[in-house]
Chains A and B, each alone.
Chain A
Amino acid sequence: MEAYYLEATPKTPKLDFNPAADTFLISGRSIPENSIEFYKPLLDWLDDYVNNPKDSTNFEVKLEYFNTSSSKCLVEIFRKLEKIPQTGKELSVDWYFDEDMQESGEDFKEIIKVPFRMIQIKD
């Protein structure tokens, strides 16, 4: 399966989803004009991936800032990833936070049914 990679821009995050690597990554800012248009290809890619995931998948979230519609898209990403443990494979989510992102991480942790670790970014 081919990797899904997008470089970060001032308004969109870096998306690095490479099945050959151990870790998937989303980092930077997520304030696109149209969030669903931005995340739709990734959601389609994840639909394929969750059908045949690796034995272990680690998803790292290192977001600095995101808008409301991006948070809905993040929920959709997590919903797709929730299917991985159902196939008997391992999944872990690492939410890296500074003072701004801590509460958001806790909100996601509350509604997502995957192992969710909160990791504080040290200065």
Chain B
Amino acid sequence: MAKAVAQSDVFQAEIDFLKEVRKLSEDDNIPAETVKENYKKLCDKYERLIGEAKLLTSVSDRLHAKLNEANEKLKKQSEEINKINDDLKVNNQLLQDTIDQLVKAKVGRKASSIVLLIAIILFVISEGLLEPIVEQKFGNEQVGFIFKLGIAILLKPIDVIVERYMMRQALKGKSTVADKLFK
């Protein structure tokens, strides 16, 4: 409402003149000469006002055209940004998958090394410590073979357990590529 009042102030001179002419038109005792004079003034003001109305319409139309053009440009840019964002998301996912595979391969290699080490330690313990004791106690050489077979059978489950544990640790420690990008 306040804005509407402020904008109407722009036409205050015209409003004042209209009030003045209205007042005169209600007066029945004005001489014909004065009526003619005021009528001429009114015509002049009206002509001016038409000119100004044309100018304001023209300026306003141009501003709207510019605004529309700017809006179109913004819309287009927004669409381009959305498309770039979508591409980024896809590329980010691809990158994330690749990183995950690399981590998995690295962890797999480490796990295999650890399992190999465990196998060697178990073999040494079996061969050097357990077998002589068991053979001495049971007098059966087949027991040593069963120990080695047990170690061989256990290698795969140990590998899986170690790999899973290491993978969990690796995933705990790293943030995603997206996190890093948008930090």
Contacts and interface: CB of A to CB of B under 8 A. Distances in A.
Interface residues of B, number: 19
Interface in A59-98: 66-69, 71-73, 75-76
A9 interface: no
Interface stretch (A16-24, A50-58, A100-108, A114-122): A100-108
Contacts of A36: 6, 9-10, 12
Interface stretch (B49-57, B71-79, B133-141): B49-57
Contacts of A66: 59
Contacts, number: 45
A34 B12 CA distance: 14
B7 interface: yes
Nearest to A75: B52
B96 interface: no
Contacts of B51: 110-111
13 contacts: A36-B10, A36-B12, A37-B6, A66-B59, A68-B63, A71-B56, A72-B52, A76-B13, A100-B66, A107-B58, A108-B55, A111-B51, A111-B54
Interface of B: 6-7, 9-13, 48, 51-52, 54-56, 58-60, 62-63, 66
Interface of A: 34-37, 66-69, 71-73, 75-76, 100, 103-104, 107-108, 110-111
Q: Rank and list the top 6 A-B pairs by shortest CB-CB distance, nearest first.
A: A111-B51, A36-B9, A71-B59, A107-B55, A72-B10, A68-B60
